[in-house]
Amino acid sequence: MNCLRTPKLLLLLLALCSTFFVQAQERTVTGKVTDQQTGKPLEGVSVKIKNTTQGTVTNAEGQFSLKAPSTESVISISYVGYLVYETKIGTTPVFTIQLSSVERTLDDVVVVGYGTKKRVNIQGSVATLKAADIEDIPVANQIGRAHV
């Protein structure tokens, strides 16, 4: 009877040790994201572990903290108007990332009820609005009061 208990205890001990090993691979990665040209921190930058659903955004100081499943994981940093930055986590616990801005111009795009099309591909009448045309229009806030 004692011989039967030994393998069960050994299996239990092995299972507990493997659980600790898996936990040891997960690590917290922190960092700061700034603009390469100005050096100012960027707020609201998307920081994700590539090919997973894990992600976060930077705070007002451009800082983030994220749990990574392993040192082989790749973090992907993206922000509107900037190049996407990707790097392998490796053994680096703290990152300082500088994003480069991208100068792109946007073609005229027409929003229709079922998709979008370029203005040159539209048949029919299309109106163009400039920012100055809609600047002074009152907008309701979350409570429903108008801002002027």
Measured CA to CA, the distance from residue 114 to residue 9 in angstroms comes to 63
Q: For residue 115, what are the β-bridge partners?
A: 112
| Nearest-angstrom CA–CA distance, 91 and 24 | 13
Q: What is the pTM of this model?
A: 0.55
Q: Do residues 93 and 27 make contact, with C-beta atoms less than 8 angstroms apart?
A: yes
Q: Which helix (DSSP H) or strand (DSSP E) does residue 86 occupy?
A: strand 85-88
pLDDT score at 114: 64
pLDDT digit string (tens) for 102-122? 876 666 666 666 666 666 677
**Domains (ranges, CATH) in the chain?**
2-99 (2.60.40.1120)
Q: Percent of the chain having pLDDT more than 70?
A: 61
**Per-position pLDDT tens, the chain of length 148:** 444 556 676 666 666 655 544 444 688 899 999 999 999 999 999 999 998 889 999 999 999 999 988 888 999 999 988 999 999 988 888 999 999 988 766 666 666 666 666 666 776 666 777 777 777 777 666 555 555 5
